[in-house]
Structure 1
Amino acid sequence: MASEGIGARVRRKEDERHLHGRGRFVGDIAMPGLQEVSFLRSPVAHARIRGIAKPAQGDVLVAADFTGMLPIVTRSAIPGYKVSDYPSVATDKARFVGDILAVAVARTRAEAEDVCETIVPNLEELPPIVDVYRGRAKDAALLHEQWGDNLFLQTSFDSGLSDEVLNAPIKVTREYKTARQCMHPMEGKGVLAYWDFQADQLVIVTSTQVPHLIRTGVAECLQIDQERVRIVTPDVGGGFGYKCLLQPEEIILGWLALNRKAAFRWIEDRREHLTAGANAREHHYKMTAYADARGRLLGLDAEVMVDTGAYSVWPFTACLEAAQAGGNLPGPYDFRGYRCSTYSVATNKPPFAPYRGVARPGVCFAMELTIDAIARAAGREPADVRAENLVPASAMPYTNVTNKHYDSGDYVASLRTAQQMIALDKIRARQKTPEPDGTLIGVGFATYTEQSAHGTKVFAAWGLPLVPGYEQATLKLTPDGGLEVRAGIVTIGQGLETTLAQVASEILTIPVSRIKVKLGDTATTPYSTGAYASRGIVMAGGAVSRTAEKLAERIKSIAAHLMQKRPEEVTFKDGRIEAGGASLDFADIGRAWYLRPETLPEGVDTGGLEVTDGYKPMVDGGVFSYATHAAVVAVDPRTGIVKILDYVVVEDCGRVVNPMIVEGQTFGGVAQGIGTALFEESTYDEQGQPLASTLMDYLLPGPTELPSIRMAHTETPSPYTRHGIKGVGEGGAIAPGATVVNAINDALRGLGAEVCEIPATPRRVLEAITAAQKQAAA
């Protein structure tokens, strides 16, 4: 039998049911008496609620009807952080378009929506805050009056900028902006809640990444004990961070099921997602970089403002994005002078959520464009300047200026490999001859680090209400020699049903087809804070590995007795148990424990063939994957249209568990990142009205917009994790914005034009060209 353990290209176990339409999502579940829920959402961005008139017909609830339901309150121990109540149903004010004002219940969703149309809110409109600059103005309207301003949090970091740094021969100042985006998982949010009379429990079936966290949040807001709440996560059609938050809709439907002892469901539609779903990635950067004459970075002075929306989300707060931005802005670069201030600004927009990469797409964009700007100022090849600034392999493990501990890697090698794959020398030669169609050719690079599986100390330092500890897994050998794996992590498309089985197979050699992985049910799985921050395979994989080793010792003890050998002689090979020429099947062990206990040795471990154990990496600050992306683009200076001609990724996530899944994760991430670079933008007018409420307005890249992506793997195992594994789930989405825009600016350098905002739409490209022409003519 060929090995199906770590490193094997095993086909995903979950794909069979999905490809045959046999998945089970929230929308697929039917039960007797199920009622559907629709929400009346605020039509204005900022208003005082003077009253809400219920219709004569229809089942409608407003805030006052939800007795005993507490608002979502997200606290943090970070000094200066301001707490905001986030009522699931708005009470005194509506603070963004889409804020829930009333709830309608009916037999069908269509009927519930019709009832919503008859509800009449009395709203006194207030001045809206629609951007960070207005939010920080002294005369700005206040979202939360008790604060006295619109800042959730301001932070600062200063390692010192010496006079030598401030007087460096190269000084580059830039302002960058990244657009607000929506996450767009294929399946939107979905919640079904009912009362289980037999278990005496509130059961919430929800499309979430964090079922155990949701149980805690629901119990707090509904003021019931956690043992009376069960969270079940069926198949999840993508998460991307949007589904790792406690949602108001989960609280509302939980209240309905708890108080009415019936079943209720809500399925998010695409318009709700675009206008009321949690948003992400609206960053503003003011950067000044100091470098020597060769472009060696000496210091960085930065201000980061994040438009965090109206409320602080639970449990990650409104400030995680800015905190991550300030800490990760230095990226993979080796310098010591760093000063950064961050501002988390409240605005009349939907609350901010962590989105695949959490701040790093923004900081990578700002940092990588700055590196290229330094290279232009030095008159050198950007790839060479980048290489000279990257942390060298000889310095690993390396602790950077913000105390990020890079465990292992060769960043320069990844850059040089990407440079070879993209054929930089040929591109530079090509650029010397004008293109027949008048387009301009450019090449761009971006190198980044991806912090994964950061745990207790990091989250505790952020002062979050829930902090991850030891990830646990339970493994059970069945009577016929199969294996059940239960973990609290959730599969949201990242292939964990397969990769966790591969980790177990690596230890026990049981075929992946005989390993059943059960996830996503607080009643049956060990506690976990869930799937986010590229933690799944490091944390849950580590827990499965550690637990499999403990189960292996129990199996060896029984096997040695049955084969009349010593336990240290027993080995596992190709799904069988061997010792000195004797051989057993795993079913023989299961049969002995469950069916023929008289054959067991004296003093057998009474814990049996079911083991639970926990794990976290040796270093609690996380491990760091990394990659270099490179792209070649053609820019039409007459229309501003950008076409990606070639795209390569050189990725290193430590020891690769399943190369096929890593490639799939990376390709999907790059597709999202190209959307960030060129297409996706949630825009608002001066009144805070969302202007991209359909997919006609919010542009997503499709097959015709995406290039054929070429990828190379390198493996630099982490010294701190089991099997040297690092996370990879977010990486593909981090670098494309920087990579593509660096390529655009390389194409435009002969015109003196520079794009500093994403998405780099045709309009923005043309504006950059026009601005350069005006400056040249002045």
Structure 2
Amino acid sequence: MNAPTPREHLAPTARPQGIGERVPRKEDQRLLLGRGQFVGDIRMPDMLDVAFVRSPVAHARLGAIHKPAGMETLVYTMADLQGVAPILAAAGLPGFKRSVQHPLASDKVRHVGELVAACIAPTRARAEDIAAQVEVDYDELPVLADMETAGTSDSRVHDAWSDNVFVETRIEKGGDAASKPDTRRYHRHLRTARQCMMPMEGRAVLCWWDHRLDQLVMYTAAQVPHINRTGLAECLGLDEGQVRVISPDVGGGFGYKGLLLPEEVCCAWLARHLDRPVRWIEDRREQLSANANCREHAYDIAIEVESDGRLVSIECDAMVDSGAYSLYPFSACLEASQVASILPGPYTMDRYTCRSRAMATNKPGILPYRGVARTGVCFAIELMMDAAARDLGIEPYELRARSLVPASAMPFVNITGKLFDSGDYAESMTRAVAALDWQRWRARQRESNAAGRTKRIGLGLSVYCEQGAHGTSVYHGWGIPMVPGHEQCAARITPDGVLELRLGVHSHGQGMETSMAQVAHTVLGIGIDKVRVVHGDTAVSPYSTGTWGSRCAVMAGGAVGAACDVLAQRLIGIAAGVLGKPAASLQLIDGVVKEPGQSGGMTLAEIAYTWYRAPQKVPAGVDPGGLEVVTGYKTQPDTGTFSYATHACAVEVDTATGKVTLLDYAICEDGGVLLNPLIVDGQIIGGLAQGIGTALYEEMPFDTEGQPLASTMADYLLPGAGEMPPLKLLHMETPSPHSKYGQKGLGEGGAIAPPAAIINAVNDALHALGAELTQCPASPERVLAALAEANRGNVGEGAQ
């Protein structure tokens, strides 16, 4: 079944503000003029600030906590937080081990920065002075700072566990594992670095108790306000009606703001206990050294290919460093479970075997950062494909073309059971390679390398597919304790003809106020300046699992469209009664209900006025539901949509200094029908910047004692505008048959492919020197180390 194009949903007149138009973002007017409202902008009378005492050691028994004399009532420990339950994020997968995370440490501390005590004062500076005077007795224990060591150690992060594995997943698919005579085997040990997410705004919390409603009110910089409400209610022993979570403007998320924080639980308890507003604003050192990380994977991976380059099999043993605790709500199973199911990427093969483990270590827990496990698995499989291409002496795009799922096979069920909805992966690769002008760069590479220069050119590419907007069956299968269902939209037309859309998802940079208004305009013909998108408040928005997983354009967009469809029929029904005409003879055209080809009719504002202010004109028999509806939407089937792209790049590697410079970059992506191509461009370019950071700069290292070694922005490197390469960005639009308008989730895609493409280009540049990188980021130190290793004759494994 092919999805209808958006134009089939339109009334006969073209919609210049509707789906597919490059409409500038509505929200930028206030945000760029400094009129946004973030948690840090909100002040309340009699407000207290919180500073936390954080553990300076990675693993220790917690002894006595000595409060400074005369300040005992200003310092709170877990023993003071009576009635507060621990945070539990337990997956449903067989064998998953639970971790008990107290909001303030109870028996042990398990990573540097873990909360030990909360100190309150009228200002943050005074609260920090109090925190500095708190003395804590630590009985230090052996530290597990590396996931591979944790797998064989006798020490335990959690005393009751038999090992340090949260959960293990195995998938075995395909036939006889015996190698064929005409195949070659390639084996590598690959790693991705641990990273910090870097939204412009850190986490922030402000809580107070509303006695009139007997309700906790929490302002928090969060992506998943309803999920935060659920978690808070569980920890504090309240019913969910006693908790109201408000997320105002949020300055970026990327997954970092998709969890329930122990700081939130502490502030909520303190606000109720003290009957005063309580606030905590995260500083950058806290964020870097103490709070959630992402993306530390290890792959022991081998592939087999035939002599012409066709992929035959993948064998992989993967680890994900999940840190000390399973974070609420996604749990420690999310990345590792996904690794096993999505590692095959967009390729066909005969056999597939993967074992994946989520390891517990003495580090902060991990969260699903933009791209989640896809960035790691793309890095793993794409580096292996290039290794095979180099050994076989063929171009990497020629090798991939032999194994990409063909367009003629769509819809396609891959070896792990993923249902690819639509697309042409090979065409995307062909266009990206052409946009980069691959052969011209090859000629420049030959010329440069022949001259014996220290600056060598390399070419690389990577292909990926991104499952977005996936739902109940997928997340239940991964064991996620929070399973998404229908996404709902509450839509109503006010008496003056303004459309209000209330959504459970939340925007933290995606331009949702604009794109959702465009969907409404497509259905109702209402100007987007007359559409108000209300979100981020659990008191007024429908329940939702929030913004993550590239789901909003598909799920929330579908819900908005479904709600507006219902409103359109009700508008026509009211107008038909007032005009005395059969409803079947009327259409909604450019915001006017009328007979096609005729003048007159009733505008939306006139219909709304009549319904609310002049109901005597409305005859009996009109739908009594009026101009307010709540309806839900999910894809059918709810296995999600699959966007995809090819990234191709040219780099220059200075073999004297190890510096890598991006020379040129091309992307050809397919996100189905684009709701707003201008916003899509911004999403992809922003994701590319983050992917460049993963490839070349960003790393959160820990020493053997579990101490973070990049606790300031001087140590944790980020790409800036000067590191962005020239970019050619191309779009394909293959509609998804599973979504309402053919759109696909693509919010994370820009960040998935760059590490693989860039490291492949670096390896292409260094291949003639016998050097190869198997880890990112490709820092100057790693490049020089790879060259030194090659000079010693210790090159990586080739064909076997």
Please give the TM-score of this superposition, normalised by the length of structure 2: 0.96
User: Which residue does the alignment assign to 1:545?
Assistant: 561
User: Which residue does the alignment assign to 1:522?
Assistant: 538
Rounded Cα–Cα distance in structure 2 between residues aligned with 1:646 and 1:499:
31
**Residue 716 of structure 2 corresponds to residue 698 of structure 1:** yes
Offset, 1:742 = 0.7
**C-alpha contact 2:653 2:659 (8 A) present in aligned 1:** yes
SS of 1:65's equivalent in the other structure is coil
**C-alpha contact 2:15 2:521 (8 A) present in aligned 1:** no
**Residue 626 of structure 2 corresponds to residue 611 of structure 1:** no
SS of 2:746's equivalent in the other structure is coil
**C-alpha contact 1:161 1:299 (8 A) present in aligned 2:** no
Offset, 1:564 = 2.8
- Counterpart of 1:549, as a letter, is D
Rounded Cα–Cα distance in structure 2 between residues aligned with 1:704 and 1:73:
43
User: Which residue does the alignment assign to 1:713?
Assistant: 731
**C-alpha contact 1:3 1:509 (8 A) present in aligned 2:** no
User: Which residue does the alignment assign to 2:256?
Assistant: 242
Larger CA deviation: 670-679 vs 148-157: 148-157
In the alignment of these two chains, the number of paired residues is 777
User: Which residue does the alignment assign to 2:75?
Assistant: 60
**C-alpha contact 1:398 1:407 (8 A) present in aligned 2:** yes
- 1:299–1:776 CA distance, 2 compared to 1 (3 A): closer
Larger CA deviation: 458-467 vs 266-275: 458-467
- Find 1:483's aligned residue among 499, 517, 522: 499
User: Which residue does the alignment assign to 1:629?
Assistant: 647
Rounded Cα–Cα distance in structure 2 between residues aligned with 1:219 and 1:704:
46
User: Which residue does the alignment assign to 1:148?
Assistant: 162
Equivalent residue runs for 1:719-730 within 5 Å:
719-730=737-748
- Counterpart of 1:567, as a letter, is A
Larger CA deviation: 251-260 vs 719-728: 251-260
- Once the two structures are superposed, residues 444-481 of structure 1 have per-residue CA deviations (whole angstroms, 9 ceiling, x without a partner) of 11010011011011111222222111110011111111
**C-alpha contact 1:165 1:337 (8 A) present in aligned 2:** no
Rounded Cα–Cα distance in structure 1 between residues aligned with 2:345 and 2:195:
23
Rounded Cα–Cα distance in structure 1 between residues aligned with 2:692 and 2:418:
27
Equivalent residue runs for 1:211-610 within 5 Å:
211-434=225-448, 438-579=454-595, 580-610=598-628
SS of 1:165's equivalent in the other structure is coil
- 1:421–1:777 CA distance, 2 compared to 1 (3 A): closer
Identity among equivalent positions (%) equals: 50
Rounded Cα–Cα distance in structure 2 between residues aligned with 1:232 and 1:426:
53
Rounded Cα–Cα distance in structure 1 between residues aligned with 2:586 and 2:652:
61
**Residue 125 of structure 2 corresponds to residue 125 of structure 1:** no
User: Which residue does the alignment assign to 1:107?
Assistant: 122
Rounded Cα–Cα distance in structure 2 between residues aligned with 1:735 and 1:623:
18
Offset, 1:577 = 2.5
SS of 2:423's equivalent in the other structure is coil
Rounded Cα–Cα distance in structure 2 between residues aligned with 1:674 and 1:773:
28
**Residue 783 of structure 2 corresponds to residue 765 of structure 1:** yes
- Counterpart of 1:20, as a letter, is L
**C-alpha contact 2:327 2:366 (8 A) present in aligned 1:** yes
- 1:712–1:681 CA distance, 2 compared to 1 (3 A): same
Please give the TM-score of this superposition, normalised by the length of structure 1: 0.98
**C-alpha contact 2:577 2:622 (8 A) present in aligned 1:** no
Rounded Cα–Cα distance in structure 2 between residues aligned with 1:77 and 1:683:
31
- Once the two structures are superposed, residues 674-733 of structure 1 have per-residue CA deviations (whole angstroms, 9 ceiling, x without a partner) of 000000000111111000000110000111111132201110000011000111110000
User: Which residue does the alignment assign to 1:95?
Assistant: 110
Rounded Cα–Cα distance in structure 2 between residues aligned with 1:506 and 1:227:
35
Q: Give the alignment's Cα RMSD to 1 decimal.
A: 1.3
**C-alpha contact 1:283 1:304 (8 A) present in aligned 2:** yes
Offset, 1:777 = 10
Offset, 1:601 = 2.1
User: Which residue does the alignment assign to 1:5?
Assistant: 18
Larger CA deviation: 2-11 vs 282-291: 2-11
- Find 2:28's aligned residue among 15, 19, 22: 15
Equivalent residue runs for 1:659-670 within 5 Å:
659-670=677-688
**Residue 116 of structure 2 corresponds to residue 86 of structure 1:** no
User: Which residue does the alignment assign to 2:10?
Assistant: none
Rounded Cα–Cα distance in structure 2 between residues aligned with 1:461 and 1:438:
51
- Counterpart of 2:321, as a letter, is D
**C-alpha contact 1:165 1:299 (8 A) present in aligned 2:** no
- Find 1:686's aligned residue among 691, 704, 710: 704
Offset, 1:566 = 1.8
- Counterpart of 1:206, as a letter, is T
Offset, 1:602 = 1.5
SS of 1:617's equivalent in the other structure is coil
Rounded Cα–Cα distance in structure 1 between residues aligned with 2:150 and 2:175:
29
Structure 1: 4+ residue segments shifted above 4 A: none
- Find 1:73's aligned residue among 61, 75, 88: 88
- Counterpart of 1:69, as a letter, is V
**C-alpha contact 1:287 1:302 (8 A) present in aligned 2:** yes
- Counterpart of 1:51, as a letter, is A
Rounded Cα–Cα distance in structure 1 between residues aligned with 2:521 and 2:548:
24
Rounded Cα–Cα distance in structure 2 between residues aligned with 1:588 and 1:631:
55
- Once the two structures are superposed, residues 325-380 of structure 1 have per-residue CA deviations (whole angstroms, 9 ceiling, x without a partner) of 11111000011300001111100000111111111111000110101111122221
Rounded Cα–Cα distance in structure 1 between residues aligned with 2:706 and 2:97:
23
Rounded Cα–Cα distance in structure 1 between residues aligned with 2:729 and 2:17:
23
**C-alpha contact 2:333 2:478 (8 A) present in aligned 1:** no
SS of 1:365's equivalent in the other structure is helix
Rounded Cα–Cα distance in structure 2 between residues aligned with 1:252 and 1:707:
44
- Counterpart of 1:650, as a letter, is C
- Counterpart of 2:791, as a letter, is Q
Larger CA deviation: 177-186 vs 601-610: 601-610
Offset, 1:434 = 2.1
Larger CA deviation: 564-573 vs 442-451: 564-573
Runs of 5+ unmatched residues, structure 2: 1-13
**Residue 758 of structure 2 corresponds to residue 744 of structure 1:** no
User: Which residue does the alignment assign to 2:38?
Assistant: 25
- Once the two structures are superposed, residues 398-448 of structure 1 have per-residue CA deviations (whole angstroms, 9 ceiling, x without a partner) of 111111110000000000000100001111122221267631111111010
- Counterpart of 1:100, as a letter, is L
Runs of 5+ unmatched residues, structure 1: none
- Counterpart of 1:457, as a letter, is S
Rounded Cα–Cα distance in structure 2 between residues aligned with 1:286 and 1:97:
29
**C-alpha contact 1:538 1:721 (8 A) present in aligned 2:** yes
SS of 1:312's equivalent in the other structure is coil
**Residue 209 of structure 2 corresponds to residue 191 of structure 1:** no
**C-alpha contact 1:563 1:582 (8 A) present in aligned 2:** no
SS of 2:302's equivalent in the other structure is strand
Rounded Cα–Cα distance in structure 2 between residues aligned with 1:168 and 1:301:
18
- Counterpart of 1:99, as a letter, is E
- Counterpart of 2:482, as a letter, is L
- Counterpart of 1:81, as a letter, is F
SS of 1:113's equivalent in the other structure is helix
SS of 2:20's equivalent in the other structure is coil
**Residue 746 of structure 2 corresponds to residue 733 of structure 1:** no
- Once the two structures are superposed, residues 172-216 of structure 1 have per-residue CA deviations (whole angstroms, 9 ceiling, x without a partner) of 001110000000110000000000122211001100000111111
User: Which residue does the alignment assign to 1:159?
Assistant: 173
Rounded Cα–Cα distance in structure 2 between residues aligned with 1:57 and 1:295:
74
**C-alpha contact 2:289 2:711 (8 A) present in aligned 1:** yes
**C-alpha contact 1:170 1:295 (8 A) present in aligned 2:** no
